[in-house]
Amino acid sequence: MKKRITFCALVLAMIAMTAFTNGKTSEPPAQVEGHYIYVHAFDYDLQGNHLDVHESGTMDFFPDGTAIDSAAQLYSVMMGDSGKVIYVFNYVSPSNWRLDGEDFYFSGIKESFRMELVDCSFVGCDSAHVAELAQEIIKVVSGSIDYQYKFHLDSLTEKKMQWSFTYRDGHSDTWKFFRQLTTE
């Protein structure tokens, strides 16, 4: 009798397992590789000026662990002397990436990095100071480009990748990348 109960329990367990898996195919996990679009905003202070940055770009992740981040960046700057400047930069950063569980490591390649001023308008400030600040922005950004950042991979699906970063001062920032599927 004991053998019969054990056998029935085993059969019921197998039926239950089959019911849960029958008809479902396990999909492979989403891959990072691909072409994405993104929009991102951040702000910071530099030399007594407040910079509000909005960028719109593309990110291409390749299977060999390289990537290209290309963006149009709009800097709206409230100058310390009450003037206002609008800078438009073309930003191109060949980069390296690596995923380790939920840790996403990303760093630019300094030798290939480009950030060029493509437009500028200003009110209430000296043009020489405006030109100096543009060069300082490029210097600060390019100075930190080859640092390896450790992002947290919040989500990765066939349509979207999201990562976040917590800064030393405790505030966090999130980037959302939307995959552009090819029709090939």
**Encoded tokens for 181:** 């599927």
Asked whether the predicted pLDDT for residue 12 surpasses 80, the reply is no
pTM for the whole structure: 0.81
DSSP 111-134: GG-EEEEEEEEEESS-HHHHHHHH
Residues 131, 138: Cα–Cα separation, whole Å: 11
* Those residues with Cβ within 8 angstroms of residue 179's Cβ, 6 or more apart along the chain or in another chain: 34, 35, 36, 158, 159, 160, 161
Give residue-wise pLDDT tens across range 59-87: 999 999 999 999 999 999 999 878 999 99
Look at residue 49 in the predicted model and tell me its pLDDT: 94
Give residue-wise pLDDT tens across range 122-148: 999 889 999 999 999 999 999 999 999
Residues 91, 74: Cα–Cα separation, whole Å: 10
CA–centroid distance for 59 within its chain: 8
Look at residue 29 in the predicted model and tell me its pLDDT: 74
Look at residue 181 in the predicted model and tell me its pLDDT: 79
Residues 75, 41: Cα–Cα separation, whole Å: 10
Element (H, E) at 90: strand 84-100
The answer to whether 116 and 90 are in contact (CB under 8 A) is yes
Look at residue 27 in the predicted model and tell me its pLDDT: 56
